[in-house]
Structure 1
């Protein structure tokens, strides 16, 4: 009962009922626990005057956000006009090795010489590309970027075959998302966008997204191919020099 009473009084104080200390102490101690021998001494003084109001915060200025968007748009336009900017500054790290082998995965692999980790742009080690076990729609290669990034494009190459085989993906789709269980296919005009792939073994082809997309996982699905479904790839950051 004692605990219930205290709870009621505290609730009253929280919701605006300002009971003074004498009333509260007298009621609780003298009314419910007269045997404890405690006394309340005097009444509380008046509350002091309210302090000055704080400064008003700055209002939201949309012009700053629009300025940042214009800067990003300008960078993207420069990237599209000059692919060398993309290759030198804007690749996410598949080619360079900043993305570790453990972050490269695939639906299937043709064999141990065609694993996803060999599907790096400009990689020539072993068979020179990722290739799936079978050339069927639904096969994919995926890169985990480690954290979400704003992505603008993918880059692909064909297989750099030591025996001269001509293998490359001529078209592909791209899916991306912040989790690998909830990927979305990049669309354009309400339909899955078909990206133009390669027409030889070594030429790099950039597949620009209609708009930058925030992704952690980027997955490429070859749709058509020459001889066999093989490719090397990297991912292009949207915000770069």
Structure 2
């Protein structure tokens, strides 16, 4: 990497650090050394005492609360020794915990801490005087010492530098803080998974796109074995993606997995960018690793299968990530350049026997407003796509048009306002379903293609004062709002031919809420969504109205 490229990369990392500021991060605690979410391959060191001389000395034993006699032991008694932890993604770090080797004679009494975003440019933690801070360490091999930082810092890599020690520089560590961009994203039911092709294995019992997520017992398997295949994740509103996990096929005894793959991403599913990576991380593989950082180019051994894992291969087009060497191993890659996207595709490049994989995306869960094209079914659920957003609408109610009927179904007009993504329940941004000129007023939304539908959200206008005026009578005459799904357009007798998703009735005043949720009894597939208003039977006044301000459909 040239000096200019290194500078540009550093600028990118600093900008990313600003984006991933973790301002709303409130789950502070251990970042993974104790729990094991930081894997063995993420712990490296300047040197280690040979295991042939002492089996209890290894980087992977540098975790707090390991059995007595275990820990990281530097090979040399030197102040130039260090232990490095890759947190995988950027974290807000607030403190560290240290412990001796627990054999009774070896521990570090003083140490320094440095940190980095890229394992290339490092800074030392300073004290209040602007000097490199020397932390007080342990005074025995068993007790745990907690050291606060004066100010939180943002970093992905952390190094512990030995300064003074008792007998020998040996230690176990944990890093404290908050890390939000290391969670699985895009998982069902909120994420949507599609694929280029599907093998209809046992009539769809396996190999479907929805079988391709990391927690599946099956896998996605395409019908064709070629480099044109892909598995796509729609994670919802664009969010930062920091890593990926890959596994082979879980069901049957077939030995199917992907050994090499590429990643592309997009925000509109039309323009795609392949992930590329500058291999600038100084990483030293060892014989006990079970995953990889995105810059590794040297094969190494998996302890679970005792086989060599495929290496990463940078190309001019894209980074080709190393995949699996068996069907059970979880292969992790954390990106040196996290990216923000809505759609992410995994492209198999090479495979064992047949393309089959389970994939997990790691990143930052979306927070804040969903945006016009997305909705929250309730206030605390993740954002999902609004399938009705800015789609074509039709209505058989002529309330908004001339008083004579030219044709039965009219396109657009005021009905377009109920799919514009604006949730203001103002009468001027709504449409009216009434029975002034039709017996069964119906609105239809054309989703554009056959789509899996699970329910709908209807935002209604309830009037400035529902207790006054004709509006009260019209609303009281409304008995039900019904939602149907069908593959045929402009059905006047939808109640006879369509699939009913569900309805809301006036029982217990349910119809008089601003937000109505209609949940389908089971997922349905169709292109057209119908909303029908029905009046109360046998009432002296047969006129009724339903005022819809927004119609949102989710899958």
Range of TM-score over shorter length = 0.5 to 0.7
* Offset at residue 93 of structure 1 (A): 4.2
Q: For each residue in 1:64-94, what CA deviation from the matched residue of structure 2 results, as whole angstroms up to 9, or x when unmatched?
A: 959949856445447xx99xx99x9511142
1:104 equivalent in alignment to 2:104:
no
Over 3 Å counting, the alpha-carbon distance change for 1:136 and 1:236 in structure 2 is same
Q: For each residue in 1:20-43, what CA deviation from the matched residue of structure 2 results, as whole angstroms up to 9, or x when unmatched?
A: xxxxxxxxxxxxxxxxxxxxxxxx
* Offset at residue 182 of structure 1 (A): 1.1
What residue is the counterpart of 2:270 in the other structure? Answer: 181
Q: Could you tell me which of 342, 346, 356 is aligned with 1:230?
A: 356
Greater percentage in strand: 2
Find the aligned partners of 2:340 and 2:18 in 1 and give their Cα distance.
18
* Offset at residue 99 of structure 1 (A): 3.0
Find the aligned partners of 1:65 and 1:232 in 2 and give their Cα distance.
32
* Offset at residue 221 of structure 1 (A): 0.2
1:206 equivalent in alignment to 2:351:
no
Contact 1:104 1:143 in 2 (8 A): yes
1:166 equivalent in alignment to 2:259:
no
- Matched residue SS, 2:356: coil
Contact 2:234 2:343 in 1 (8 A): yes
Q: How many residues align?
A: 165
Q: Could you tell me which of 344, 347, 369 is aligned with 1:221?
A: 347
What residue is the counterpart of 2:236 in the other structure? Answer: 146
Find the aligned partners of 2:348 and 2:18 in 1 and give their Cα distance.
37
Over 3 Å counting, the alpha-carbon distance change for 1:149 and 1:133 in structure 2 is same
Q: Could you tell me which of 90, 98, 101 is aligned with 2:183?
A: 90
What residue is the counterpart of 2:320 in the other structure? Answer: 194
* Offset at residue 194 of structure 1 (A): 0.6
What residue is the counterpart of 2:211 in the other structure? Answer: 118
Instruction: Work out which of the two has the higher radius of gyration on C-alpha atoms and give 1 or 2.
Output: 1
What residue is the counterpart of 1:56 in the other structure? Answer: none
Over 3 Å counting, the alpha-carbon distance change for 1:161 and 1:212 in structure 2 is same
Greater percentage in helix: 1
- Matched residue SS, 1:145: strand
What residue is the counterpart of 1:131 in the other structure? Answer: 221
What residue is the counterpart of 1:31 in the other structure? Answer: none
Contact 1:76 1:238 in 2 (8 A): no
Find the aligned partners of 2:360 and 2:199 in 1 and give their Cα distance.
20
Question: Which structure's relative contact order is higher, taking Cα pairs within 8 Å and 6+ residues apart?
Answer: 1
Contact 2:182 2:242 in 1 (8 A): no
Over 3 Å counting, the alpha-carbon distance change for 1:184 and 1:165 in structure 2 is same
Q: For each residue in 1:118-173, what CA deviation from the matched residue of structure 2 results, as whole angstroms up to 9, or x when unmatched?
A: 0011311xxx10001111011000010011001111111000122x1100000100
Contact 2:193 2:234 in 1 (8 A): yes
Find the aligned partners of 2:266 and 2:20 in 1 and give their Cα distance.
27
Contact 2:264 2:344 in 1 (8 A): yes
